[in-house]
Structure 1
Amino acid sequence: MTLTRFSSGHTAPLNDDAEVTDDNPVQLRNPCNGSVVYILGTAHISPRSAEQTTELIRTVRPDTVVVELDARRAERLRREMERDTHDSGESFLTDLFQSFSSNRSGSLLAKLLEPMLRSWYRSFRVAGLIPGGEFMNAIREAEALGARVVYGDRNARETLDRIITELRSHFLEILLRPKQFQVPAEVAEFERNLREAIQRRGSVPGGTADVVDQLLNRPRVRQFNHFIGRYLPELMRPLLHERDAILAQSILNAPGERVVAIVGLGHMDGIERRLRREAQLVRATTQGEV
């Protein structure tokens, strides 16, 4: 059964009675085909993300692994890892500014918005909204196991186009918004604590990775996303909410009895909520047919 409900249009965040948990990974059942789904939320800055990815895939031995990448992004990461270079994430900003600068008005817009985008970029990375190299670890494990790999994310170019559309549509509103170039104090404090924990990793024997993981949990990132959404809803729509829907759709469509999905931690709530909502709809439909 192939669903298209989630991938049509520009999707807003869901506000319904489909509750989410704080589990990571979370285990769910696909209501469309009965498969067992394990969803792991990772963060590029977490020292344990790759380790947790490996452990989950080797333990579950899934038929399919869904990763938060599109084919173009996956190929870029593969080339970087073959050259033993590490993606700093700057490629995303570079692509965005190049897209802006394709015409004169776009170039002006890019210059005006660049300080804001750069000041918020670290926040997007912390929340797991910009894919990192840890997803290549999932692909390697899947290939070693002989599992199918599904690139579950939207094409990066489409996401960039959506970001540009949103920023252009709300350009004046963004510029006039109070403190739109300033990261909220709550977010800045969260990032500062993370940076300090990561810096201590090299000087404090053991335990520092646990400190980072305690900070990078679902409740914290949920709050983090809330703060970002309050200040920059124009970016959260294409970066988070629309991609939540697309990733959830990819998971629902994934074949096999066991499926592992590796996604950014910031996408966990939106994906889980959509899968639980789909289960509610399937149950309601089934009961109505009895």
Structure 2
Amino acid sequence: MNDEYYDSLNNKIQKKNEINFKENIEILKRIKENIKDSEKIINVVINEKTNTVVYLIGTIHVSQQSCEDIKTLLSIVEPDTIFIELSNERAPLLTSTEDQIISQLLKKPNINWFTTKLSDFYLSIHQNFYYYTTKISMNNKFLKNQIGNNVNNENNKPYIYGNEFRIGYQYSKLNKCSVLLGDRNFKSSWNRIFNYLDLKTILELGGYGVKTFFKIYNQPIDEIREEYYKSVNELIDASWKSDIWRRDLPMAVQRGLIDERDQFMASCIRDAPHSKRMVAIVGKGHIKGISNHINDKEEGFYIRSDLEGFQEPTLLSKYSYPILMPSLLLLPPTLSIYSFHRFIKPLSKPKFTLALLSTLSIELFSIKYLISNFENKLEKL
């Protein structure tokens, strides 16, 4: 733990004598001794509205090491309030049994190809991401990479995405401390993201998706796993101060998925009832933003109302997917048949139509074949 934590708390104690400075300095020393690279995953701030000392711990949602760090931090800090990066509609994730969650995560969701909303399509892609990361985590090598060779039988279960939140909740029940769920509604975030998208960004995302599809399609399974482990370990090693979380994300996604949620969660922490010490369990990429907004002067209720309020979908958000998808499917067969008609042999209207439908059928069959092979490959992860 570097000296800026001590300096920050020391500056606050001069203004807020109610805070037990020495006690929290001892806690910081124990954190440094017991949590490896603690300065990369923990930041300590003071909520000036209530004088609460807030220990922000950043997690990687697919990392068993994050779970171990949270257990250690909770035992050292002994908070009276735990903040969790979950919205109220996702609270069942905390109370369901591990077997119930795993059984749900291992049910393959369908990709919502036929929809009128771009957000519905991407949400189905997001659900598939949960599914496949759960399958990858069943490989013991992933767990061993993160917590060393001392892997017991319990840790050989599939890793539950976001299990660190459950650890915080279970601690609160055993130690009778308050729990605060303070994230924005999940669907609100995604709806707002897609309302911010412009046509250029939609096309870029589509191109990136196609590129990623064929890259994975042609990669050996072991290489896919290794790349996944490498990317996760890169996130684990990164500091919360890093901008790695924003890398390669379009501005619309940065705004809706990171910046607005930072403001939302910071306002929830700021408006929480007074407590002596709070541990806030959030994704590592949110620590920087929450720390910057924790003592904003704006009224938190109005901030949250604005950030979670209903947005009328833009025309692009409503109609880009049902227009672009058929257009992209029709373009190759139309161009090929028109080129044949124009430069090789003229076709009558019935023959042109029949050739177009036949070529479209072949294209759809080929796409279905590619997707089926792709999914079969991912199933082996």
TM-score using structure 1 length: 0.61
2:180 to 129, 150, 154: 150
Following superposition, the deviation at residue 218 of structure 1 comes to 4.0
Larger radius of gyration: 2
Give runs of aligned pairs for residues 80-91 of structure 1, distance below 5 A. Answer: 81=98, 83=100, 85=102, 88=105
> Is contact 1:66-1:254 (8 Å) kept?
no
**Which runs of 5 or more residues in structure 1 are unaligned?**
1-20, 126-130, 184-188, 199-211, 280-290
1:175 to 185, 193, 203: 203
How many matched pairs?
219
The letter of the residue matching 1:47 is Q
Match of 1:235 in 2: 253
Query: 3-state SS of the aligned residue for 1:48?
Result: helix
Query: 3-state SS of the aligned residue for 2:169?
Result: helix
Name the Cα RMSD after superposition.
4.0
Distance 1:215 1:164, change over 3 A: closer
Aligned pair 1:45/2:62, yes or no? yes
Q: Which has the higher contact order (CA 8 A, sep 6+)?
A: 1
Distance 1:83 1:250, change over 3 A: same
Match of 2:30 in 1: none
Following superposition, the deviation at residue 75 of structure 1 comes to 0.8
Deviations 1:27-65 (A, max 9, x none): 111111111110100112222111111221222111110
Identity over the aligned pairs, expressed in percent?
Answer: 25
Aligned pair 1:223/2:253, yes or no? no
Match of 2:229 in 1: 195
The letter of the residue matching 1:134 is E
Match of 1:136 in 2: 166
Q: Distance in 2 between matches of 1:89 and 1:82?
A: 10
Match of 1:260 in 2: 279
Q: Distance in 1 between matches of 2:175 and 2:51?
A: 22
> Is contact 1:194-1:215 (8 Å) kept?
no
Query: 3-state SS of the aligned residue for 2:102?
Result: coil
Distance 1:147 1:245, change over 3 A: same
1:269 to 264, 288, 294: 288
Following superposition, the deviation at residue 220 of structure 1 comes to 7.6
Query: 3-state SS of the aligned residue for 1:39?
Result: strand
Aligned pair 1:34/2:51, yes or no? yes
Following superposition, the deviation at residue 25 of structure 1 comes to 1.5
Q: Distance in 1 between matches of 2:236 and 2:95?
A: 26
Q: Distance in 2 between matches of 1:86 and 1:242?
A: 32
Following superposition, the deviation at residue 22 of structure 1 comes to 5.2
**Which runs of 5 or more residues in structure 2 are unaligned?**
1-37, 134-160, 213-222, 298-381
Match of 2:81 in 1: 64
Following superposition, the deviation at residue 226 of structure 1 comes to 3.0
Match of 2:92 in 1: 75
